[in-house]
Amino acid sequence: MTEMIATRQAYGDALVELGEKNKDIVVLDADLSKSTTTAKFGKKFPERFFNMGVAEANMMNTAAGLATCGKIAFVSSFSIFATGRAWEQIRNTICYSGLNVKIVATHSGVSVGPDGASHQCIEDISLMKTIPTMTVVEPCDAVETRKSILAAVAHKGPIYIRLGRAAVPVITKKEDPFSIGKASALRNGKDVAIVACGALVANALTAADMLSKEGIEATVVNMHTIKPIDREILVKVAKQVNAVVTAEQHVLDGGLGSAVATVLSGNYPVPVEMIGIDNRFGQSGEPDLLFKEYHLLPEDIVLAAKRAVGRKKK
Amino acid sequence: MIKSQCLDIKSLEERAMVIRRHVVRMLAKAGSGHPGSSLSTVDLLVALFYNKLRHNPQQPAWPDRDRFVLSKGHACPALYAVLAENGYFGVDKLDTLRQFGSILQGHPSMKITPGIEISGGSLGQGLSVGLGIALAGKLDKKDYRTYVMLGDGELAEGQVWEAAMAASHYKADNLCAIIDQNGLQIDGFIHEIMSSYPIPDKWRGFGWHVIEIDGHNYKAILSAYDEAEKIKGKPTVIVAKTIKGKGVSFMENQVDWHGKSPSKEEAERALAELK
Ligand SMILES: Cc1ncc(C[n+]2csc(CCOP(=O)(O)OP(=O)(O)O)c2C)c(N)n1
Ligand SMILES: [Mg+2]
C-alpha cells in the first residue's frame, strides 16, 4: 500500500527542519496555523513566528517588510485567502519589489472537500503565474513538498507553493532529484504524454497503467513547476509522442494546461487535451466524489488520452 | 555612518523652500504627477531627513539605518527631491521624473531608486511593511526606527487598520506612523467623500500613542519625533494637520491640484511665490 500523507503536513515538518538550520527564516500565518501546519514551527521557534490574525493583506506586507531586512519570510494561509484576498499586495509590494517572500498556501483544489466552494481555491495557479517574476510550484506529494520548501529557501525572490488539505499518495522517492523549473518523466511511453501537477500526478500514473492494458503507452511528466515551465521537456516529449494531455486540480483558464499549450503551440504544435475544472465552482463533498464530479479521475485522463491519440495527424 | 545634521529651524525652512521649488519644477517638466499631495508632506519630510533619521546616503542599504516608508506613494516627487538634496542621487536626476528610462518612476520603485525602502503607489500597504521592518528590528535586536507616512484619505483602506491592530498587538514601539492630514482626497474633502474623522480617537482605540501637531511647524514636528522615540510599549502616530498644496497660494486647499501638473506659466507663478 502506498503511504498517504497530505502535502501540508510535510510543509510544517520542513519548516521545523529548516528553522533549526537557518535563523533568517520567519513564518507568518493568519489564524490558520493548525490547518496550514505552520503551528509546528511556531511551537518550536515562537520568537520567529508571527500569527497576524485574520488579516491576510497586512500579513503579506508585513512579510515584505521583514524580507527587506534580510529575513526569509514564509507566509501561509488557505490558497483562496493568500492569493485572492492579498493578490494585489503580492503583486505590488512583494513581486514588484523582488522580495524574498515564500507564499506557501494550503487547501487548494476541490480536494478541500466538505468546506465547499468558498474554501476550494481553483484559480490560484492562474492568479500567481500572471504576476511578472513570480515562480509557481505545486508538488505532487509529501516527499516532493519537503524538497520544494528547501528549494524555496535557496531560491532568491518570491515564490508561490501550492499545497493541499487531503492526504495524497507518496509517489516520489527521497533520492529523486528536484530543482525548480526542471520537470521529470515518471514513466515513458511512445503514444501519448500526460503532463500533470499536484494530486493529478498520481491519477496520471494510474491512468497510464490503465492505458497500457489497452495497448496505449503513456509518458507521465510531473510538472511541479508551472512557472517557469520546463519548455525543454515539453518539446522533447511532444516530438516523441505527438499527443499531450494535461491534468490539474484547477480551472482550465490560465492553469497548467494553458501554460503547456502556450509552449507547444509556439514550438511544436500537437493535439492537447486538458483535464481540469471547466468554468464551475467547487462544492461540498468528499474529495473522491468531487474528483468524479469534476472529471479529475484516472478514467477521465484515459478518455482524454484516447481523444488526443485520435487527433494525431495520420 | 550616522547622519543627522540637526539644522536650526531657519535652515530647515530654507531647505523646505528648495524642496518645494524642485517639486514644482519636476512636475511641470514631467507634465503629470501630484503637486498638492507632495507639497503637504515637505515640512514633515525635511524635518525627518535632516534632523531625525540616522541614515547614510552613500550607503542606502546600511543595515542599521532608520527607515522611511512613503505609504502615500503618489507624493514621491517630494521624497525624491529630499533624497537628491541629501545625496542619494544627483539633483539633475529630478528633471527625469516619470520619463522613460528614469530612475524616478511615477510611483516609488525600490529596485531602481536609491533610498526607497519599498515599492509603492497602491494605497493602504505601507504601514504593514513598516510593521514588518519594525518586527525584524526587534528580532535582530537593532535600535533603528521605522517611520511610515500615510494620507488621510488612505485611512479608508481596511489594511491600514489591520496593520494598526497588529502593530499595537506586537508592541511595535520602534514604529512611528505620520499622517499627512491635509483634509483632501482625490474626489473632494475627506468629510464629504469618506470621513476618516476623528483620526486621533481611532488610533487611540487601536492602542497607539497619539501626538497631534501642525504639520508645517518645525518646532512641533521635531518635538513630536522626539516624543515618539521615548514612548515604550506601543507604537506612536503623529497626526499632522497640513495644507494640501502648501506654499503655492493657488494650489492650497484646492481639490483640483491633487493630481494635475502645473503648466509652464503656472509653474512660474508658483516659483515666484516660493522664495
Ligand atoms: C489602492 C489605491 N486606490 C486608489 C488609488 C488612487 N489614489 C491615488 S491618491 C488617492 C487619494 C489619496 O488621498 P490621501 O490619502 O488623503 O492623500 P493626499 O491627500 O495626501 O494626496 C487615490 C484614491 C491608489 N493609488 N491606490
Ligand atoms: Mg489627503
Tell me the pairing of strands A167-169 and A4-6: antiparallel
Give the up-direction half-sphere exposure of residue B185: CA atoms within 13 A in the CB hemisphere.
18
| B26 alpha carbon – ligand 1 mean position (Å) | 20
More confident residue, B272 or B6: B272
Tell me the pairing of strands A192-196 and A135-137: unpaired
Omega cis (within 30) before B198: yes
pLDDT value of residue B99: 96
- CA-based nearest residue in chain B for residue A86: B159
pLDDT exceeds 90 at position B225:
yes
Q: Which of A61, A81, A88, A92 to mutate to test the interface with B (most CBs of B within 10 A)?
A: A61
pLDDT classification of B2: cutoffs 50, 70, 90? low
ipTM of this complex: 0.92
Question: A74 and A26 in contact (C-beta within 8 Å)?
Answer: yes
Interface of A with B (CB under 8 A): 26, 47-48, 50, 52-53, 55, 57-71, 73, 88-89, 92-93, 96-98
CB contact under 8 A, A97 and B133: no
Q: Round to whole Å and give the CA distance between A117 and A48.
A: 33
B113 vs A93, A281, B90, B132, B156, CA distance in Å? Answer: 15, 43, 11, 21, 28
Domain residues of chain A, as ranges? 4-169, 184-310
- CA-based nearest residue in chain A for residue B125: A61
Tell me what the mean pLDDT of segment B136-151 comes to: 98
CB atoms within 10 A of CB A131: 21
* Same fold: A4-169 with A184-310: yes
Domains of chain B: 9-273 (3.40.50.970)
- Helices B218-230 and B42-51: crossing angle in degrees, nearest 10, is 60
**Probe ligand 1: pick from B32, B76, B185, max atoms within 8 Å of CB?**
B185
Q: Which residues of A touch B119 (CB under 8 A)?
A: 92-93, 96-97
pLDDT value of residue A313: 83
pLDDT exceeds 70 at position B1:
no
Tell me the pairing of strands A101-105 and A49-51: unpaired
pLDDT exceeds 70 at position B4:
no
> Any idea which residues of A carry the catalytic annotation?
56
Residue B203: exposure state from Cβ atoms within 10 A (0-12, 13-18, ≥19): buried
Domain A184-310 listed as CATH 3.40.50.920: yes
β partners of residue A27:
A49, A74
Q: Which atom of ligand 1 is nearest to the CA of B182?
A: 19
pLDDT value of residue A314: 74
Alpha helices (H) along chain B: 9-30, 35-39, 42-51, 76-86, 126-139, 158-169, 190-193, 199-205, 218-230, 264-273
Indicate the class that CATH gives domain A4-169. Answer: alpha beta
Q: Round to whole Å and give the CA distance between B156 and A252.
A: 36
| B186 alpha carbon – ligand 1 mean position (Å) | 7
List pLDDT tens digits, range B171-212.
999 999 999 999 999 999 999 999 999 999 999 999 999 999
**Probe ligand 1: pick from B44, B127, B152, B186, max atoms within 8 Å of CB?**
B186
| B189 alpha carbon – ligand 2 mean position (Å) | 8
Consecutive 10-residue averages of pLDDT for chain A (314 residues): 93 98 98 98 98 98 98 98 98 98 98 95 98 98 98 98 97 97 98 98 98 98 98 98 98 98 98 98 96 98 98 87
pLDDT exceeds 80 at position B112:
yes
Cell numbers given for A276:
481540469
Compare CB distances from A71 to B128, B129, B136 and report the shortest one's residue.
B136
